Structure 1
Amino acid sequence: MAQITEEIDYEALPENASLSASLLAGAFAGIAEHAIMYPVDSIKTRMQILQPTPQAVYSGVINAVSKISTTEGAKTLWRGVNSVILGAGPAHALYFGTYEYAKDAFGGNGIGHHPLAAGTAGACATIASDALMNPFDVIKQRMQVHGSVYKSVFDCATKVYKLEGLRAFYISYPTTLTMTIPFQSIQFATYEYLRKVLNPTGVYDPLTHITAGGIAGAVAAAATTPLDVAKTLLQTRGEATDVRIRNCNGLFEAFKLIYQRQGLAGFAKGIQPRILSHMPSTAICWGVYEYGKWFLSRNNADQHPINMH
């Protein structure tokens, strides 16, 4: 009697894998994605501020790194990272768990290309995860702005709640969804398409996942930058001294204010660091996630070998 293991199909997590094990791949991917590229995200936030202080005006990413490191210290680029780490794990676990379930339900795991199924699954995933992540993202951006006086994530959360109420943590949620739904739809559809084009056999190939993920992240980031500028305005409005900014209540008001103050160019603010951040972070995210799926599937196959008589 010979005993061999079943050929591993890692494309979907194994059916008998535990829910916690399945979601763990997404949690690790989310933390890796956000934490590694956090300094670039900090620069992006500062470049998108509608009313920056004179000390926080930058001509580009290199200039921002140099100026912040020299005047405020390199540690400043990491302010608020704890908020991302706290929120990214559970939010991305929910994100990828929802994506896998929805993609399968919409027929995205079938043979051939299914960009609509992948895009729709991505939209479902982001609606769920953003509801959990939005307050953490608000805290993160409040701590990233120049002159932030918050000592910790908890300090920021309690002071914002005390001064502005619970609404401050969700004022940007509709705008976030308006941005992230197309972002994730574009990203997932692009990723799934490129993954199948670059690797038609479907075997685990890290280079394919990193390349497809990086390109997908760059395309989606560039396309949704105007919405990200509006989101940053809404999430940091409480730190502004300008009355109109502080009282801005939604996406259309934010768009109107940005256009009045900075014209069409205002909607492209931060596009360079946004692409520089999302391209490697999305590549990292997909690389870690696909590895997690492969690893879990491999272990599952090792534990459940097929007996051949």
Structure 2
Amino acid sequence: MNGQNPAPPVSDGITPLQQMVASCSGAILTSLFVTPLDVVKIRLQAQKNPFPKGKCFVYCNGLMDHICVCENGNSKAWYKASGHFTGTLDAFIKIVRREGTKALWSGLPPTLVMAVPATVIYFTSYDQLCAVLRVRMGTSAELAPLLAGAIARVGSATVISPLELIRTKLQSQRQSYRELSDCIRSAVETEGWLSLWRGLGPTLLRDVPFSAMYWYNYEKGKSWLCEWHNTSEPTFSITFVSGALSGSIASIVTLPFDVVKTRRQLELGELQAKNLPCQMSSSTFCVMSRIVAEDGFRGLFAGFIPRLIKVAPACAIMISTYELGKAFFHKRNQERMLMPLQTNNT
């Protein structure tokens, strides 16, 4: 015994802590790139249909969708349009000129508090699960990414769901933490602990199939591109393209669930903001039936282009940055292992 602590378990040549650091870096970089797109989209929406008090809208930083509740009489709120925008490019230019560059990242800090931990849990869990499942599934090992992606998404969504509910209440009602704890305690006493996970069902209906398809297609696409380029290690461009394509496919297939989830999120957010009983909120099936009745089956695929434009680059940036971080730590670990050997040989 040399008196040193045993090394932590390693997956793909890196430790879980290093996986967390790599995913955290990817999450922050993704948010920095994608947030301006959503800020501009929300400003344009507010210009077309001004948000009244208590109105909810969905804000996305490239990692997660978040419910934001509008406040009354706050003309300086980041989501309210200042001036008139003729289009997306015009909105970008005018926001930067009038409010400064940092205005493009309005609303980002509060959402990162949950988005980054959720992403770290999700990516680290996926890698650990996939490594174990590849060994245990034997001849069916190629299905490991599909199963690992689904399980990892269930875990991260379940952990974050109560925090999203708490954040919505804090934002909409400006409660102190003591008032909030009393409110949560009252809800648990009257409706049970499951009330903290209200709205989780529609989230899982979209996110679990998305994750399963995304990881399966990503791993397949990455392997195929590596063979095509005759390389054993995926390059940044290979992971970027694989991430964009797999994210696009998954987003198209799960779009109806995304439309339903958004409707449900908005309903639940507004009910919580107005302190109304959440039993009034429709079930997933009822929301889907209502959309078909009002807009036809095309209504289930509303927002196809905007979702694709946002999801594809977000997936590409996140996964390529994550893989780059893992490659960095893998190389660093190998060099650290070789150093004692080189010292002994000399």
The TM tier, using the shorter chain, reads: 0.7 to 0.9
Q: After superposition, what is the alpha-carbon deviation per residue over 1:179-199, rounded to whole angstroms, capped at 9, x for unaligned?
A: 111101111111101100101
Deviation at 1:288, TM superposition (A): 0.8
1:258 maps to: 291
175-184 or 111-120, larger mean C-alpha shift: 111-120
Contact 2:40 2:92 in 1 (8 A): no
For the residues of structure 1 that align with 2:18 and 2:214, how far apart are their CA atoms?
Answer: 24
1:190 maps to: 217
For the residues of structure 2 that align with 1:274 and 1:124, how far apart are their CA atoms?
Answer: 24
The reply to whether residue 133 of structure 1 matches residue 160 of structure 2 is: yes
Contact 1:13 1:296 in 2 (8 A): no
Contact 2:18 2:326 in 1 (8 A): no
Q: How many residues align?
A: 282
Contact 1:13 1:22 in 2 (8 A): no
1:85 maps to: 112
2:78 maps to: none
Contact 1:40 1:276 in 2 (8 A): no
109-118 or 92-101, larger mean C-alpha shift: 109-118
For the residues of structure 2 that align with 1:218 and 1:225, how far apart are their CA atoms?
Answer: 10
1:7 maps to: none
Gap change, CA 1:36 and 1:271, over 3 Å in 2: same
Look up the SS of the partner of 1:202 in the other structure.
coil
Contact 2:22 2:322 in 1 (8 A): yes
Q: How does 1:213-232 map to 2 (within 5 A)?
A: 213-232=243-262
Deviation at 1:47, TM superposition (A): 10
2:325 maps to: 292
Deviation at 1:239, TM superposition (A): 2.7
For the residues of structure 2 that align with 1:73 and 1:261, how far apart are their CA atoms?
Answer: 39
Aligned letter for 1:233? R
1:33 maps to: 30
For the residues of structure 1 that align with 2:147 and 2:87, how far apart are their CA atoms?
Answer: 39
Alignment root-mean-square deviation, CA: 4.5
126-135 or 183-192, larger mean C-alpha shift: 126-135
Aligned letter for 1:13? D
Q: Which of these two proteins has the greater Rg computed from alpha carbons?
A: 2
2:313 maps to: 280
Aligned letter for 1:298? K
Contact 1:41 1:273 in 2 (8 A): no
1:96 maps to: 123
Q: How does 1:1-309 map to 2 (within 5 A)?
A: 12-14=11-13, 17-41=14-38, 54-55=49-50, 63=87, 78-107=105-134, 114-135=141-162, 170-200=197-227, 201-237=231-267, 238-239=269-270, 247-305=280-338, 307=341
Contact 1:113 1:196 in 2 (8 A): no
Contact 1:139 1:153 in 2 (8 A): no
For the residues of structure 2 that align with 1:274 and 1:152, how far apart are their CA atoms?
Answer: 31
Look up the SS of the partner of 2:198 in the other structure.
coil
Contact 1:106 1:117 in 2 (8 A): yes
Deviation at 1:38, TM superposition (A): 2.3
Contact 2:24 2:120 in 1 (8 A): yes
Deviation at 1:215, TM superposition (A): 0.7
Gap change, CA 1:54 and 1:18, over 3 Å in 2: closer
Contact 2:40 2:91 in 1 (8 A): no
118-127 or 89-98, larger mean C-alpha shift: 89-98
For the residues of structure 2 that align with 1:248 and 1:214, how far apart are their CA atoms?
Answer: 34
Contact 1:83 1:139 in 2 (8 A): no
Deviation at 1:19, TM superposition (A): 3.0
272-281 or 194-203, larger mean C-alpha shift: 194-203
Look up the SS of the partner of 1:203 in the other structure.
coil
For the residues of structure 2 that align with 1:136 and 1:175, how far apart are their CA atoms?
Answer: 16
Structure of greater relative contact order (alpha carbons < 8 Å, 6+ residues apart): 1
